[in-house]
Amino acid sequence: MKEKKDFGASNILQWILGLMIIAAFAFFIIGEVVLPPENLEDIGEFGLYEGEWVQVLDDGTTESIEVPGECKTEQGEWVTIETVLPEDISDISFAIRSMQQDFKIYVGDELRKEYSTIETQPFGKTSTITYVFFDVYEDDGGKTLRIEFMSDSSYAGYVSEVYMGEHVALWQNIIKNYAPSLIIAMFMLLVGISVSVLSIIVRFMYKTEVELLHMGNGIILASSWMIAESRMRQFIFPNSTMAVYLGFFMIMLLPYPIAAYMNKVQKCRYRIAYLAIYIAVAVNCVLGTTLQVLQIKDFFETMLVSHIIIGCLIIIMTVTIILDTIHGYVKEYWAIAIGFVALMLGGIGEIVMVYINSSQYNGIPLCLGLVVFLITAGMRTAKEVRAVNQERNLALAVSESKSQFLASMSHEIRTPINTIMGMNEMILRESKEENTREYADNINRASEILLGLINDILDLSKIEAGKLQIVEADYSTANMLKTAISGIEMRAKRKNLEVKKDIDETLPAVLNGDEIRITQILNNLLSNAVKYTETGSVTLTAKGKSMENGFFLQLAVLDTGIGIAKEDLERLFDTFVRLDLKKNQNIEGTGLGLSITKQLVENMGGSITVTSEVGKGSCFMVEIPQTIIDETAMGSLESKNVNAPTEAESPVKTFKAPDAKVLVVDDNKMNLKVIGNLLKRTEMHVDFANDGNQCLEMTKEKKYDIILMDHMMPEPDGVETLHLLRADQENKNLETPVIVLTANAVGDVEEKYLEEGFDGYLPKPIDVEKMEKILSKYV
C-alpha cells in the first residue's frame, strides 16, 4: 500500500510540537541555573582543614609544611606528618586523597584508618589513587592527628588537600565537582556502543565496510577511560585498582581506532604512517603492561609514552590533511577535516589538564572533541550509506530487469525452438524416406545444441544472480551414472570414440544430494571430452571416499584429446573463455560449460581439479560431499536390476487414452499445432483455446480430464487464468488438473508454478516422453 503524504498543516503542527519539546527542556535547564536553590534540608558544612601541619623527620625533629604540598622524602620511604586537633572539635569526618600512597592514620595513639591495595591488586608496586575517609570524635579534641604515608612513585612526598565536615557534605562536594564529567562519559559510552552496533548492522545489511565503526570504538575507549579515571570510581567499582588499569589500557589503545578511521577515510594513501601508529600502540601496550607486572615501571611512569603517541597521531593527521588539501583530496572528506580540528584541540587540552593536575574536568575536552568529530564523521557516513543504498536499489532494479529480460528472452527463444523440434518430431514419426529422416535427424541435433547453449546462458545467469538452488533428495547412484553415460554414448559413437567405464561397484546404492546438478556436471565434462577428442576414448571413473567429515563421491573424466597448455589452465574455468580459438574455431560452444561446472561443484561444497598435457589429453576430477542413505553396494551398471526404473519413473512408450478429453491453451497458433500433432498418437480428444478468456468460456461448457496451459499469454496470462478458474465454483473444471506449459526456464520456476496452484510443469521445447508421463499420471 502506498504511504500517504502529510498535509502542509500537519507538517507545521509537527514542527511546533518539536519546538515545544525543546522549549520544555530549555526552560528546565535555565531555571536550574538562574533561579536560587529551594532545598531546605541542611546537609551540613565542609571545608579544608586549616590546622598547622609539621613533618616529623627521622631524628625526631619537626619541620612546618604546607598542605597541600610536598614533603622531603625518597621513593619508598615512609613520611610522617602531624597536626593538633582543635579542643572544641565535634564529631566530624575527614577526607584525604591517596596519590598512589599507603596510609596509616592515628588519632592520639589509636590507629583510626589504614589504607593499602598492594596485597589485593594483581600486580604493581603502588596503591590505587582514592579518597580515604576517617572519623574524628568530640573527645578527640586536643589530640595529635598523625598521618603516615609511603609510595614508590613520584608522588612519594605529596600531601593532597585534607577536607573536614559532615560525611554527607563531603560526598556532595565530590559528586558536585566530578559527577558532570562522569555523566558525560557514560552518555558518550552509550553513544559509542550505539554507533558501533549500528555500523555492524549497516555492514551486514549493505555488505560494505562502515568506517564509522572505528569511530564508535574510539568513543568507547575514550569514555571508558573517563569513567575509569573519574574521582567517583571508588563509589562505582568494587575494585578501584582494576578500574585504574582499565583507564591506562584505554588511553594506550585509543590512538588505534582513530588512526584506523583516518586511514580508511584517506583511502590508505598514508597507510605506512598509520601502520607506524598501530605498531607503536601495540608495543606500548605490551611493554607498558610487562613493566607494570614486573614492577619495574608503574603505568603512571610510562603514561608519557601514550601521550607522545597521541601527539604523533595528531601530527600525522595534520600533515596528511594538509597534503590532501594541496592535492585536492580533502574535498572528499572536508567535514572530517573540520571535526579533526576539534578533536586535535580537545586532545591537546586533555594532555595539558593531566599535567596541570586539573582533575575536575578530566576527560571533558577530549570528549567534546570526539563529539564534534563523531558528528562530522556521522554526516559523511550517512551520505555514504545513502549512496550505497541508492547503488543497492539500482543493482536490485537492474537485477530485476535482467531477470525479466531473461524470462522474456527464454520465452521468445524457446517458443520457435519448440515449434522447430515439435514439427521435426512429426517428420521423424511420419516420414519413411531415408533422406528426409536424415535431414530431420540433423535438425534435431542442431536444435539440441542450440537448446544446450541457451540453457548454459540461463544457468550462468541464475548463478550470477544467486538464484541457483541446490535441491537435495535421495537418488539411485547407478541410475544417475547410467543416465550420464547414456547421454554421451550416441555423440561418442558418431565420432567413433570408445566410451570406457571404471565404476566402483561397491559405491552406496542410494545417496542424498542434488542428482540433477551432479548429472549436469557429468554431462558437461563428458560432452567437453567428446567435443575436444578426435580419436581414442573417453573414460568415466566413479569412486567413493569416506572421511572424518563425511562421504565424498569422486568422479573423473579422462580423454585422449588435444590437451590444454599449462599457461591456459588458470583461465580454463573463466566465463566465456575458449582456449586456442584459432585451433578450436570449428568446435561449437560458448565457453560456459566448464565455468558453470566449477560453480555448481563449489555450490555443493565440492572441488574440481584438472591435469592435462598437450597432445595426450586431459583429466577432470570432481569431489562432491554426499550423504549415504543405503550402504548396500550398487553392483554392476550392466546388471539388469541396477537400473530398473521405479514405477513412477517408467517411460510410457505406448500411452493411449481414446476416451480422454484435453484442452490446450496457448496464444501461439504454431504451438497449438505442434502440441496437437504430438498428442495424435495418444488418440485423446484435443480442444484448443487461443487465450485465457476463451479457456474460461470453454471450461464452463465442457468437462476435461486435463488442461495444458501456456503461461505467457495476453491478459489474463496462464497464472491469472488458473486463479480465475479455481475461483469459479460453478466451473465444470474446478478440480481438473492444470499443467503449465512455459518457455520461461529462468530461476526455479517449477516450484513457483506449483505454489501458484498448477498440478505440474512442462517446459518448452516439449519433451514428448515427459508429456506422456504427465498425461498418464492424471488421465
Residues 156 and 181 in one domain: no
Query: What is the average per-residue pLDDT within 676-681?
Result: 86
**Which of the listed residues 149, 165, 181 is the one where a domain comes to its end?**
165
Q: Is residue 649 part of a domain?
A: no
Residue 646 has pLDDT above 50, yes or no: no
In the chain, what is the straight-line distance between the N-terminal and C-terminal CA atoms, in Å? 43
Residue 127 has pLDDT above 80, yes or no: yes
According to the model, what pLDDT value does residue 2 have? 41
Q: Is residue 432 part of a domain?
A: no
**Which of the listed residues 596, 615, 633 is the one where a domain comes to its end?**
633
Q: Is residue 647 part of a domain?
A: no
- Mean pLDDT, the chain, rounded, equals 82
Q: Which grid cell sits at 200?
A: 555492524
* Beta-sheet strands, E only, within 167-258: none
pLDDT band at 270, cuts 50/70/90?
A: very high
Least confident among 261-270, 469-478, 618-627, 730-739: 469-478
> CA-CA distance, 560 to 534, in Å (whole number)?
8
ω into residue 651 within 30 of 0, thus cis? no
Q: With 0.75 as the threshold, say if the pTM is over it.
A: no
Q: Which residues contact 779 (CB under 8 A, 6 or more apart)?
A: 657, 660, 662, 684, 705, 706
Residues 576 and 684 in one domain: no
Residue 115 has pLDDT above 90, yes or no: yes
* Beta-sheet strands, E only, within 655-766: 661-665, 685-689, 706-710, 738-742, 760-763
The two most distant CA atoms of the chain are separated, in Å, by: 137
pLDDT band at 215, cuts 50/70/90?
A: confident
Residues 160 and 177 in one domain: no
Residue with cell 575514550: 222
Residues 266 and 343 in one domain: yes
Query: What is the average per-residue pLDDT within 349-353?
Result: 70
Query: What is the average per-residue pLDDT within 639-659?
Result: 54
CA neighbor of 628 nearest in space, from 527, 506, 509: 509
Angle between helices 434-464 and 364-430 (to 10 degrees): 170
Q: Which residues contact 503 (CB under 8 A, 6 or more apart)?
A: 481, 540, 541, 542, 636, 637
Four-point Cα dihedral 506, 508, 510, 513, nearest 10: -120
Residues 271 and 367 in one domain: yes
Residue 84 has pLDDT above 60, yes or no: yes
pLDDT band at 652, cuts 50/70/90?
A: very low
**Which of the listed residues 354, 369, 393 is the one where a domain comes to its end?**
393
What CATH number should be reported for the domain holding residue 71? 2.60.120.260
Residue 407 has pLDDT above 70, yes or no: no
> CA-CA distance, 371 to 394, in Å (whole number)?
34
Q: Is residue 642 part of a domain?
A: no
Q: Is residue 581 part of a domain?
A: yes
Residues 178 and 144 in one domain: no
Residues 341 and 227 in one domain: yes
According to the model, what pLDDT value does residue 206 have? 67
Residues 150 and 240 in one domain: no
According to the model, what pLDDT value does residue 645 have? 39
CA neighbor of 321 nearest in space, from 311, 309, 331, 312: 331
Q: Taking a C-beta distance cutoff of 8 angstroms, is the pair 491, 532 a contact? A: no
CA distances from 632 to 251, 390, 508, 641, 655 (A): 66, 56, 5, 14, 35
Pairing of strands 706-710, 738-742: parallel
The total of structural domains in the chain comes to 4
Q: Is residue 413 part of a domain?
A: no
Domain span at 620:
476-633
Residue 459 has pLDDT above 70, yes or no: no
Residues 202 and 143 in one domain: no
What CATH number should be reported for the domain holding residue 773? 3.40.50.2300
Q: Is residue 131 part of a domain?
A: yes
Q: Is residue 37 part of a domain?
A: no
Residues 374 and 520 in one domain: no
pLDDT band at 621, cuts 50/70/90?
A: very high
Residues 244 and 381 in one domain: yes
Residues 525 and 584 in one domain: yes
pLDDT band at 746, cuts 50/70/90?
A: low
